[in-house]
Amino acid sequence: MAVRPIVIYGDPVLREVSQPVEHFNQELKDLVSDMVDTLKKAQGLGLAAAQIGVLRRVFIVDLAAVDIAGSLKVFVNPEILETSGEAEFEEGCLSFPGIYQKIIRPASVKVRAWDVDGNPFELETDGLTARAILHEYDHIEGKLFIDYLSPLSRTMLRGRLKKLSAAS
């Protein structure tokens, strides 16, 4: 379909809560197709619709670049059912080019969502897949990975964040 521009930090759309998908139709399939093309070109691991300026509760995760067994997963109207444990790992975000920070998140997640055809599914996972799901879920809630940083870490990033914000 098409590669869309990725919204960069500073754009207020990243802080908005996304709306539920009401119709599983061609428009949704086109959106997901554009998201897949955009993610592949950006060489990322996940992308939320909000990151291309569409405030719908949709995100994709594709760990194939870092996991031979990884495959593209589409999450429409996801709900986090439970999380457990805790793990610290370095994260980046396509909306924050060049910025990577250690973030503490739950180590595992159980999520319920629908695929692009409207079929419900549940997934229980851990490791990088859980982290990617939780990161993208935050995007549809208007939350960003920098929200998890300590005040000191955020202060140290202030200049770089200002530059990104000014460029958006």
Q: What ranges do the domains of the chain cover?
A: 12-167
Looking at residue 168, its pLDDT comes to: 67
Which candidate, 5, 6, 8, 4, places its Cα nearest to that of 144?
8
User: What is the topology classification, in CATH, of domain 12-167?
Assistant: Peptide Deformylase (3.90.45)
The CA-based diameter of the chain, rounded to the nearest angstrom, is 46
Beta strand 108-114 pairing with 72-84: antiparallel
Catalytic positions are 136
Residues of the chain where predicted confidence (pLDDT) is lower than 70 = 1, 168
Model confidence, pTM: 0.94
Which candidate, 89, 93, 96, 76, places its Cα nearest to that of 130?
89
